[in-house]
Amino acid sequence: MRRADNLIFAVIIGLIFTCAAMEFKVKERKLELMPMPSTASRKSGGEREIPLNELAPAGRIDPLPPRNPFKPPEWLVEERGERREPVERSIDLKLTAICWSAEEPMAVINGRIFREGEVDPSAGFEVEKIGPDEVVVKTPWGERRTLKLGEVMGR
């Protein structure tokens, strides 16, 4: 009984592979019989046939220059009649506390603790010097400002 089952299984597998091979040969033959035009052409506006090789430029096609995907194209900005300039963020700086420890002084500006030389990642200012009642900060564009305790300074 087992031998007969194995024989039937082998015959079925052989038939499946034979069918797959025949289907592959049929598809290959269809591709060979498919008519291929010697020159491709396109009709433009119903006038005359234009061979596609006449539409292609004579030389090599240069790739487009890279551009920022988040910036609108120049032609779109010019059509709208507007010119976008970068806008500086305005963040108020408020010195709320100065802490003197044994190692180094620290200042609390806008609710964050800074040591001398640290840079704020969101606003971009750098704490240069911490004094007893004031802190000197350097703005991202190089300007030095002095913050006094409890005073709010707009940038």
Q: Where does the pLDDT of residue 87 fall: very low under 50, low under 70, confident under 90, or very high at 90 and above?
A: very low
Look at domain 93-153 and name its CATH class: mainly beta
* CA gap 79, 121 in Å, rounded: 37
Cβ burial 36-63 (10 Å sphere, 16+ → b, else e): eeeeeeeeeeeeeeeeeeeeeeeeeeee
Q: What is the pTM of this model?
A: 0.41
Q: What is the pLDDT of residues 133-155, one digit of tens each?
A: 899 998 887 888 888 887 777 65
* Domain ranges across the chain: 1-34, 93-153
In the numeric block, which tokens belong to residue 145?
């400002």
Those residues whose C-beta lies under 8 Å from the C-beta of residue 18, and which sit 6 or more positions away, are: none
Average pLDDT over residues 116-145: 87
